[in-house]
Amino acid sequence: MQVVVFSFIVYSSAMSSLKLEQVVILSRHNVRTPTSKNLGRMTPQFWPHWKEKPGFLTKKGFLLEGYMGKYFYTWLNKEGLLPAKCPSEEDFYIYANTMQRTMYSAQAFVRECFPHCNITINHADTDKPDPIFTPMIHNSTDIFKEMAFKEMKYIFNHLYLNNSYNVMEDILEFNESDFCKIDKNCYLAADITEFNITAGKKPEVAGPLKISNEAIDAFLMAYYNGFPFKDVAWGKLNDTNWHSILDITAGYHNITFCTKHIARDIAQPMIKYLTNIFFNSNTRVILLMGHDANINVLLSAMSFKPYELDYNFISTPVGGKIVFQKWLDEKANEYLLKIEYVYQSNEQLREAAVLSYDNPPQFKLLELEHCGTDYRGFCRWNDFINFLSIYDL
């Protein structure tokens, strides 16, 4: 505790000449139910029962996102960005993907920020894929497809997942699954992984990598939602093999969304949207509520440096937020940028811990390859703007 207090004092002293001018938050929705339609074919065991429909935000997820909303309000009100009264759209603007889990996450965040206000959650046409959030391929040329496929194949060939697959087979009792008994695919490591890149669709990975990732996603959501341990992977996970199987999830997302050409293509609409905000918007706080795919492609396309999140299993946790902060150094008369990943730890998610200054969410400084940071974690705003100006969209 002494180390934490000391760090806060040093941080506060270093920030004394700085004024927060604008915050843009790109968020992943909070805890949802599993989305896979193949769970029943992966194992002879019974999966835990969920009250909500597949892919929907859970009651626990709504609660957790509300805690994040309350924490952000407390911070941003203290910094003078959010008013105590109901905000205008010049104070606070929200844009969410139209899926239930993103709309409800936005509602949970807003309700705790301004519980007695009627806040508009802006969104695209519900009858069409959202042009900003939908992680689909835009480039239909053969040369793009060839380059993207080559990059996916390169990452795949450098994955070493045999041990992880063996653990998954034991957890799932895969030799008794429909995939084994009916399809005759009994060994995950021996099965074929296939890729598909089609304009208008998200990149596709088929085979054992996808099957295993979908099962792990179901394990994670059950864990975060607070299910008894016997209902999380049937009680077969511990600290050691959690990390073993999570190599599969990291590999799946790296192949699907983090290769150079795919990330830049998918992220184009989001980066254009953000660039317009950074160049033209005077709105003080902007919340964009999307998905882990949006965060993955943005981090790769904008050349963020590699990072590891403490106290969380994955690199894009539910409810996690990329927080762009524009600060004015009044002493130097210069604008600065700071980017942090703000997220709840495994324990905070599972235990539904109320967030406060005494129990804050986790913070991880993020750095851009093209905008050098000082000892405080700030890069010059003009360097960031210059990077966006010449970014090849």
> What single-letter amino acid sits at 68?
M
Residues annotated as catalytic are: 29, 292
Beta strands in 132-278 (DSSP E): 194-196, 204-206
How many CB atoms are located within 10 Å of the residue 53 CB?
9
What does the block give as tokens for 353?
């811990």
Residues with Cβ within 8 Å of residue 286, at least 6 apart in sequence: 22, 23, 24, 25, 92, 93, 94, 95, 277
Angle at alpha carbon of residue 258, lines to 255 and 261, rounded to 5°: 100
Q: What angle do CA 260, 258, 100 make, to 5 degrees?
A: 130
Backbone angles phi, psi at 366, to 5 degrees: -110, 145
Report the Cα 38 to chain-centroid distance in Å: 23
d(C-alpha 136, C-alpha 257), whole Å: 10
Closest CA relative to residue 306, chosen from 297, 314, 315: 315
In whole angstroms, how far apart are CA 131 and each of 111, 194, 200, 242? 26, 27, 11, 35
CB 55 within 8 Å of CB 100: yes
Tokens representing 341 are: 């990943």
